[in-house]
Amino acid sequence: MRIVGNSQIALPSLMPSAAALRQAQVHQVTAAALMRVATTGVRKGVYRYATHEAANRASDEALSVAIALNMKQMEGSP
């Protein structure tokens, strides 16, 4: 068996690090923005990309569209 790398997964702790708290905040803000409209922004279908970067770019664009739709819904609701 070949071992590649030696990174360790951080165990949960009672006092999370500042970086972990920032990541949690980003996750919560994104989830809150996505809660108004039930869409991921990605249309059904099979997508083929030449590179991982192109796939990531398309995913990010779809996510930004979904967040924008949700923000628009949030502005119009009481």
Structural domain count of the chain: 1
Looking at the domain assignment, is residue 3 inside a domain? no
In-domain check, residue 63: yes
**Quick one: which of 56, 54, 63 has its CA closest to 27?**
63
Domain that holds residue 68: 50-78
Classify residue 71 by burial, with Cβ atoms within 10 Å: 0-12, 13-18, 19+.
Answer: middle
43 assigned to some structural domain: no
**29-41 per-position pLDDT tens digit:** 888 776 777 777 7
Tell me whether residue 74 is in a domain.
Answer: yes
Residue with the larger pLDDT of the pair 18 and 78 = 18
- What tens digit of pLDDT does each residue of 54-75 get? 999 999 998 888 888 878 887 7
Q: How confident is the model at residue 77 (pLDDT cuts 50, 70, 90)?
A: low
Specify if 21 maps to a domain.
no
Section 12-41 average pLDDT: 82
pLDDT for residue 76 is more than 90? no
**36 belongs to a structural domain:** no
Residue 31 lies in a domain: no
The predicted structure's pLDDT at residue 78:
57
pLDDT higher at 23 or 2: 23
For residue 65, tell me if it sits in a domain. yes
